[in-house]
Structure 1
């Protein structure tokens, strides 16, 4: 996307951001994990230094229409640390 001033602008529903990492969500649900021969994910966390601690389907970020917010559902056995809070598999989806 380009603005009137000519600079590129990324757009999406939400933006995931970390150290040297940005991802713009363009759908209501994305899968995070690691790519393999058997599965492809939207965000490959193994490339960000997670290695084999990342499950193929580690977590999902989705828009919860009933609650009007994005939520995080964790599937990976090692859980997911977000801003110092550990989210574990089997727990109800938390606010993303």
Structure 2
């Protein structure tokens, strides 16, 4: 019993379909990469031009430093001493 591998036009069609699939995949990957770079650029641009974001960023890092010094996560989240730092980590600045 001989195996039937199909005819040449069937192989050409399969090759074209595989090539189209590969090109579509590469196009999606390229667009995703461009979108990520653009989003990062937009974030950095906005961060540098938004005073509330800069202030929130500074308070966030102060809060992280206080969190590292805390004896436990529960103590950091529930203590009145570290309440301000805890809220600065959770804070999302409101838009004007």
TM-score by length of 1: 0.20
| Larger relative contact order (Cα-Cα within 8 Å, sequence gap ≥ 6) | 2
What TM-score, normalized by structure 2, do the two folds share? Answer: 0.20
**Going by fraction, where is helix more abundant, 1 or 2?**
2
Greater Rg, structure 1 or structure 2?
A: 2
